[in-house]
Structure 1
């Protein structure tokens, strides 16, 4: 009999406040299993970095990599926070110091070759000669990757291609899937030769795993709240005789000495690195979720000007605080931490009217938003530039709206991914601006105008 232990994390999103306990736990477990001569693998399933955290932002994610090295991770796959939230060169050098494999079978350079830091799969050999084949896949935001200079292929087609090879070379197959629970379940049914799927992206929690056909699914939620542990027992013929999955709640793991000091140190180091002055304000710029302010209007104007659009809208909830005095890059991250990009959409006057009227729905202003890159809480009111309703008449750049005319509307990209304006946006052509985030536009406008 051979026992293989597989520990996994996913969607940590730079919540480094949970990392000291995770790190201590993984180190201790690995040492314990090595003493008993049982095999140990450590995997991260993507979105380990998130640029809301000052240290991650300041180092463009490279500061996170030593954390994985110190735990001796075996391999990772990339999530969308690594893939589409870093400029090309930053992602291309993110893993320069990595001491683990990066597995992403559907991630290519534009010349249809893998970057030198990516492998589609890897075969690991245990001490007893078992060949463990591990393949990674990431969610197909192909258009956004294309804008950044990468090529992303359809993950299921890529999986089919490489499974032919893996079945020949491996006794046991693991998929690192940053695709989401629904794709994982479908893959398990269609490809029963995959023994274990470790999932991510949709932040789902599988407390004791989930058996789908002959495949065991594992997933550890988000933010480092849990660590996943899959145990597999094989007989001498390399046949699985038992496998199970568990999650360990990080808050219930043993306390780490100087834990809080470590957490604060990450924040302080990031703050120090981001202490670069952008501008000095002669008067404060307050913010308010439910009133138009100089700051929210300033960001809305920056968005329209950057995109060269006819008009623009933002939600006030994008701004999490005011600005005053000397404004640093850390200040801009603090008030606008979202990995949200500018976007343009073309609408007829009639469609623009529908969008405008929907933004005035007060129930929408109080809506709690999770995901879509949004790092705030409530949506807040909408703020407009060169778009207004006066009485019963809508004006665009001072001229009465023409229902038949085509207009360009600049807006945060989150509104094209969620369930907003669903009667208008889905079928429309969208133009995304990458790699700039909204805080980059705010910096640009502040340096230009103040």
Structure 2
């Protein structure tokens, strides 16, 4: 007998719920049709389902996302970096307490206690005809962030290979749910071809019909709810082997609209505002924002960063301010609208000569109109890089807080974590640094303003 088995898969939603209802309606109809034909199907999510730039996710600290996954009847999910490193330790520890699906991640461990009961290194699914499918999963290795938050994240590929060989004799098929990115997926396929399918995510790549790598099928479903994926595999019970595996993507924008989906989206916003719209301080004047030079808002934010870190100098991009700070009662909801980014403050230790080199680089770079997507940035355009406490003369002499820079002296530069990943300043990636977790820049800014304007 040859059995057809189906996996519907989603990834990197980042709390973009625009097409959620129609995607899930489509999946439910397809699964019912397949069930009526006697074929087994499963539904999986590959992580980054939540994103705290979304008001509803922020207001419910991800619990609203878990409710959606429950209602959609997911079978297995793994966690992405947005679940893993944008939530405080206790919030992540209990995030999936009410999950009605299995949560698989094989390379994450608590530093303080036993892992939460919902966290499993693998699971084995069984079809209606008794075929056993081992599901393994791993999340991206953001070591410094996880360590600061109270978790240990181990090398994902090594863990996955170990799990695959452990489960080889227990299962007929091995499926990997990867929140590692396309490069890691390719390496895993080369090193461990006993895995049959690697569901891919994290790098938001798109494989419309999957892609074979060393006879391992790789998938990629984009981002932000663009696509719903459907994997079909054929298992020969006589030979106990897979005879076919193929994947396809459905563009969610082209799926039939579901009744009342617009009203549902509006209701999510209303619920979020109700939870977040509580006044925290009052302003007697407005603070304007600018994207191409300093503003009243950037000056206030720089004050906040100095106060929070005690750094020698400060650097950030003006585009982080999505809106201005208006006169009157200011709520958590207002602060989130201004600073929606899941970004943390980081202090980098850097010598005076290195600081001068960096200063000259960002003075010359034309990043201000960059429409950045990713690295935690959730704004419109990147904006000019602003610095506070750093000045350069016409003679190219650098001054730090009015004092001539000493080339070998180590200075503490307070900046945003997005600058430390190597995209803008590669040297920052390897410099000694301290991440200030778990508070986002909006939390730090709100707390500072509550103290300043009490």
Residues 168, 418 of structure 1: alpha-carbon distance in 2 compared, 3 angstrom cutoff: same
Partner of 1:419 in structure 2? 423
Secondary structure at 1:208's aligned position in 2? Answer: strand
Q: Provide the secondary structure at the position in 2 that maps to 1:217.
A: strand
Q: Is the 8 A contact 2:278 2:331 kept in 1?
A: yes
* Counterparts of residues 145-184 of structure 1 (less than 5 Å): 145-184=146-185
Q: Which of 390, 397, 401 is the aligned partner of 1:397?
A: 401
- C-alpha distance 193-293 of structure 1, shift in aligned 2 (>3 A): same
Structure 1 consecutive aligned stretches of length 4 or more whose deviation exceeds 6 Å: none
Deviation at 1:358, TM superposition (A): 1.9
Q: Unaligned 5+ residue runs, structure 2?
A: none
Pairs aligned (count): 449
The TM-score normalised by the length of structure 2 is: 0.96
**CA-CA distance at 1:315 after TM superposition:** 0.7
What's the TM-score once normalised by structure 1's chain length? 0.97
Residues 23-172 of structure 1 mapped to structure 2, 5 A cutoff? 23-110=24-111, 113-172=114-173
Distance 2:387 2:285 in 1: 23
Helix, strand or coil at the partner of 2:14: coil
Out of 381, 385, 397, the residue aligned to residue 384 of structure 2 is 381
Does structure 1 retain, via aligned residues, the 8 Å contact 2:322–2:380? no
Alignment-derived partner of residue 346 in structure 1: 349
Q: Is the 8 A contact 1:108 1:115 kept in 2?
A: no
Q: Deviations over 1:256-275 (max 9, x none)?
A: 00111111111221122110
How many angstroms apart in 1 are the aligned matches of 2:30 and 2:38? Answer: 12
Does residue 262 (structure 1) correspond to residue 269 (structure 2)? The answer is no
SS in 2 for 1:343: strand
Q: Give SS of 2:367's match.
A: helix
Q: Secondary structure at the match of 1:403?
A: coil
Structure 1 counterpart of 2:369? 366
* Equivalent in 405, 412, 431 of residue 428 of structure 1: 431
Task: Tell me the equivalent position of 2:193.
Answer: 192
Q: CA RMSD in A?
A: 1.4
Measured in 2, the distance between the counterparts of 1:379 and 1:361 equals: 15
The answer to whether the Cα contact below 8 Å between 1:108 and 1:150 also exists between their aligned partners in 2 is yes
CA contact (8 A) 1:53 1:267 kept: no
| Cα deviation, residue 198, structure 1 | 0.4
Displacement of 1:70: 1.1
Post-superposition offset of 1:111? 5.5
User: d(CA) in 2 for partners of 1:14 and 1:386?
Assistant: 37
